[in-house]
Amino acid sequence: MLLEGATQAPVSAMKRIVVTMGDPAGIGGEIILKALSHICKQSIPVVVGDLQTIYQAQKALFHKDAPGFKRFGDGSPGDAEFIDLGIIDTVNPGVTGPECGEASFRYIIEGLKLLFTGEASAIVTCPINKKSIHSAGIEFTGHTELLAHYGGVTEYVMMMANRAMRVSLVTIHIPLKDVAGSITTDKVLKTITITYRSLQRYFQVEKPYIKVCGLNPHAGEQGIIGNEEDAIDEAIRVARAAGIHADGPFPADTLFHRRDCDAYIAMYHDQGLIPVKTLDFSRTVNITLGLPFIRTSPGHGTGLDIAGKGIADPTGLIEAYRVAEHMSSKIS
């Protein structure tokens, strides 16, 4: 998609960043179209998906003869590339299923190939639908687990971040009833350590300060309301002995209003995601730490309820791309 008036840089200085389209029945195609004029400045986005579904979204946004109905170019500076996998010609917006799940998966795999061959420096993933992925016979509970599998790592961390707050999670996509039994010293220590190192490497925080949530109300109240905090406390002690500035465990209900640290560690999904998304939902970004490549994603879902209506907000994708671009600039 040729972008008029884009700031151009020499071809040799332009990094390529993969953008996968996500679920074809969701808002991925729409937010990509809306975001392109904002992101083709310092790097070249390489969109992986189905071109016909992109054009379908494009026609819903603009009259096909109207100004602004643009096509993808060849990857010149200030331009964007498109890798058309030709899996799906048309979709019924908002109605997903196995075909869309399979397509979502194949977009990711194609994007990973570009990373593994050194043709791209980061990947930004538009949202997928877990049910459609599962209905296609693909047994991953989410993007994070899928990317960790193909990245060949078992130690990774899901961080949700915006410009005011960063929160890493000890457990991710598991039922709430299983959380308490999953809180171990090793898991908490791993989350603290990976978060600490990533803040140093990608965000130029020389000596990060990390605050750690407890699991139970009042952080267990010295064992009166549960003893999972014993494992958390031990992880913090080990981290501090290794030179990491970490404190806690703190009661989660009073922790997040004091934004006086570089990152928080939450014990489970909603404990950490409610405060960060409430603070700045549209610019919250999902960052997978610990992978052998850079991966970000908008903090929202597939938006099946608004797909095809032309009202999806591209801010999350623009911010996810900006963060990926920033992180990739910090590595050779």
> How would residue 76 be classed by pLDDT, with cut points 50, 70 and 90?
low
With a threshold of 0.75, does the pTM exceed it? yes
pLDDT digits (tens, 9 = 90+) for 259-284: 899 999 999 999 999 999 999 999 99
Residues 14 and 124 in one domain: yes
Residues 41 and 167 in one domain: no
pLDDT the model gives residue 69: 40
Asked whether the predicted pLDDT for residue 194 surpasses 60, the reply is: yes
Identify whether the C-beta of residue 159 lies closer than 8 Å to the C-beta of residue 166.
yes
Structure tokens at 197: 């190192």
Mean pLDDT of 96-120: 95
pLDDT the model gives residue 66: 38
To the nearest 10 degrees (0 to 180), the angle between helices 185-203 and 229-241 is 50
Residues 205 and 107 in one domain: no
Q: For residue 292, is the peptide bond before it cis, meaning its omega torsion is within 30 degrees of 0?
A: no
Q: Are strands 285-289 and 295-298 parallel, antiparallel or unpaired?
A: antiparallel
Q: Which helix (H) or strand (E) holds 33?
A: helix 28-39
pLDDT digits (tens, 9 = 90+) for 160-174: 999 999 999 999 989
Q: What percentage of the chain reaches a pLDDT higher than 70?
A: 90
Residues 140 and 11 in one domain: yes
Structural domain of 264: 155-289
> How would residue 13 be classed by pLDDT, with cut points 50, 70 and 90?
low
CA 72/CA 176 separation, integer angstroms: 44
Q: Domain total for the chain?
A: 2
Say which DSSP state 187 is in.
H
pLDDT digits (tens, 9 = 90+) for 213-242: 999 999 867 878 888 999 999 999 999 999
Please tell me whether residue 212 adopts helix, strand or coil conformation.
strand
Residues 222 and 106 in one domain: no
Residues 278 and 161 in one domain: yes
Asked whether the predicted pLDDT for residue 37 surpasses 90, the reply is: no
Asked whether the predicted pLDDT for residue 68 surpasses 50, the reply is: no
pLDDT the model gives residue 326: 94
Q: Choose among 269, 226, 224, 262: nearest CA to 245.
A: 262
Strand positions, DSSP E, the chain: 15-20, 43-49, 81-84, 122-125, 157-161, 166-169, 209-213, 245-250, 263-266, 285-289, 295-298
Residues 90 and 112 in one domain: yes
pLDDT the model gives residue 73: 54
